[in-house]
């Protein structure tokens, strides 16, 4: 029964091709595998996206992306993975966790940076086998930033007093209710510098760059795609279809690949449109 079904399908393909030749139609080339698209869209975070009653913030949930990568790795029909990057970055640990997940994939991976792939998003993309971007894409921004807000001036003006009771000298470091001391600023700067050094070291290893070259390309600077190629942050310039084609080549796919995207989540706001 199985042999008959396979033979019947083979005869059907031959018959269709013969009919197409007679009618002058283009015969589609059957692909030899799937390119699985894994989107990295929005702020990179762990533990899900903040949600309201009717909508949720656009974010790249690392747990969901890791599941997509694992699924693609396990699927024998998937020959390559395309990371569709559209993100300005995200949390430090979440971005590093995503980078490790990309680096740990068994299938060939191509990261394509669309409008933007900066900071933590570039961090994750750098671990792909090939990194591509449009010539006008924004990428890079290798750096770390922390914001400390202070309200004590406003509170003094309004007449609000805050009393802090603590155990441990640094327990209220970065408190918005008082000025920061020089020692506290140095402590926070040291922490940021260590995170930055790890970021640069990982990018250097992923991109096969020297530490000096990686640090020169870092410094928080945002590059257009054409500039990013010059400094070694990406491998090729091209559009989405070019990235699909590159992934197919890396995956050894002959002919036109099947491009498989994850199912889009339906939100309540989509149903109300």
- The residues annotated as belonging to the active site are 119, 171
Give the integer Cα–Cα distance in Å for 131 and 229: 10
Q: Are 201 and 144 in contact (CB under 8 A)?
A: no
Instruction: Give CA angle at 226 (225, 229), nearest 5°.
Output: 85
Structure tokens at 44: 């990179």
Radius of gyration of the chain measured on its C-alpha atoms: 25
Instruction: Give CA angle at 89 (127, 103), nearest 5°.
Output: 15
With b for 16 or more beta-carbon neighbours within 10 A and e for fewer, the 61-73 pattern comes to bbebbbebbeebe
On the CB side of 57, CA atoms within 13 Å amount to: 14
Residue 111: phi and psi, rounded to 5, are -100, 125
Q: Are 69 and 81 in contact (CB under 8 A)?
A: yes
Helical packing angle, 62-74 and 92-103, nearest 10°: 0
Residue labelled with tokens 């010539």: 135
Task: Give the Cβ contact number of residue 122 at 10 Å.
Answer: 32
Residue labelled with tokens 């083979």: 10
Which residues, at least 6 apart from 182, have a Cβ–Cβ distance to it below 8 Å?
Answer: none
């Amino acid at each position: 029964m199985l042999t008959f079904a396979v033979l019947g399908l083979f005869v059907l393909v031959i018959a269709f091709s013969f009919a197409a030749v007679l009618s002058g139609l283009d015969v589609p080339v059957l692909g030899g595998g799937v390119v699985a698209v894994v989107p990295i869209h929005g702020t990179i975070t762990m533990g899900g996206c903040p949600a309201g009653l009717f909508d949720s913030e656009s974010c790249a949930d690392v747990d969901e992306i890791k599941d997509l990568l694992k699924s693609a790795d396990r699927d024998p029909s998937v020959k390559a993975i395309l990371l569709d990057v559209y993100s300005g970055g995200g949390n430090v640990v979440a971005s590093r966790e995503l980078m490790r997940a990309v680096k740990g994939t068994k299938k060939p991976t191509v990261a394509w940076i669309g409008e933007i792939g900066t900071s933590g998003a570039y961090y994750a993309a750098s671990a792909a086998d090939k990194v591509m971007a449009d010539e006008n894409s924004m990428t890079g921004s290798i750096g770390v930033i922390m914001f400390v807000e202070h309200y004590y001036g406003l509170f003094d003006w309004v007449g609000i007093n805050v009393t802090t009771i603590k155990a441990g000298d640094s327990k209220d470091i970065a408190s918005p209710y008082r000025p920061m001391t020089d020692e506290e600023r140095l402590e926070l700067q040291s922490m940021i510098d260590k995170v930055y050094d790890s970021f640069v070291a990982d990018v250097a290893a992923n991109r096969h760059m020297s530490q000096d070259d990686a640090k020169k390309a870092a410094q928080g600077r945002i590059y257009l795609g054409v500039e990013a190629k010059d400094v070694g942050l990406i491998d090729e310039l091209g559009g989405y279809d070019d990235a699909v084609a590159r992934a197919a080549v890396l995956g050894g796919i002959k002919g036109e690949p099947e491009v498989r995207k994850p199912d889009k989540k339906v939100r309540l706001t989509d149903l109300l449109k």
